[in-house]
Amino acid sequence: MIELELQTMTMENRQIKTVVRQIKEEYPEDCWLNEPLAPHTSYQVGGPADAFFKPTSIDDLEQVVRLCLHHKVPFYVLGKGANILVHDDGFRGVVITLERCCHQLFHEGNLLYVGSGCTVQELVEYCENHGLAGLDYLSGIPGTVGGALRMNAGAFVGEIGDRVLRIDALNEKGQRVQIHNEEAQFGYRRADGLVNKILLGCWLIVEPGDPRRLKEAREDYLRRRAEKQPLEYPSCGSVFKRPPGDYAGRLIEAAGCKGLRVGGAMVSPKHANFIVNVENATARDIYELIVLVQEKVYQQFQVWLELEVKLVGFPESDCKRVEKPDYV
Q: What is the pLDDT of residue 12?
A: 81
Q: What is the pLDDT of residue 324?
A: 87
* 5: pLDDT strictly greater than 80: no
pLDDT in tens, 152-170: 998 878 899 999 999 999 9
pLDDT in tens, 192-236: 999 999 999 999 999 999 999 999 999 998 999 889 999 999 999
* 2: pLDDT strictly greater than 80: no
Catalytic residues: 189, 238, 308
Q: What is the pLDDT of residue 3?
A: 47
- The torsion angles phi and psi of 248, rounded to 5 degrees, stand at -60, -45
C-alpha to C-alpha distance for 147 and 145, rounded to whole angstroms: 5
* 9: pLDDT strictly greater than 70: no
* 256: pLDDT strictly greater than 90: yes
C-alpha to C-alpha distance for 76 and 65, rounded to whole angstroms: 10
Across the range 5-18, mean pLDDT stands at 72
- One-letter amino acid for residue 161 of the chain: G
Quote the percentage of the chain above a pLDDT of 70: 97
Across the range 262-272, mean pLDDT stands at 98
* 6: pLDDT strictly greater than 80: no
Residue-range domains of the chain with CATH: 2-97 (3.30.43.10), 105-227 (3.30.465.10), 232-321 (3.90.78.10)
205 - beta bridge partners?
Answer: 111
Read off the DSSP letter of residue 284. Answer: H
Q: What is the pLDDT of residue 325?
A: 87
Residue 10 pLDDT class (50, 70, 90 cuts)? low
Q: What is the pLDDT of residue 288?
A: 99
* 129: pLDDT strictly greater than 60: yes
Q: Name which of 122, 112, 166, 162 is nearest 144 in CA terms.
A: 122
CA distances from residue 71 to 15, 19, 51, 247 in whole angstroms, order as listed:
7, 8, 15, 43
Q: What is the pLDDT of residue 139?
A: 92
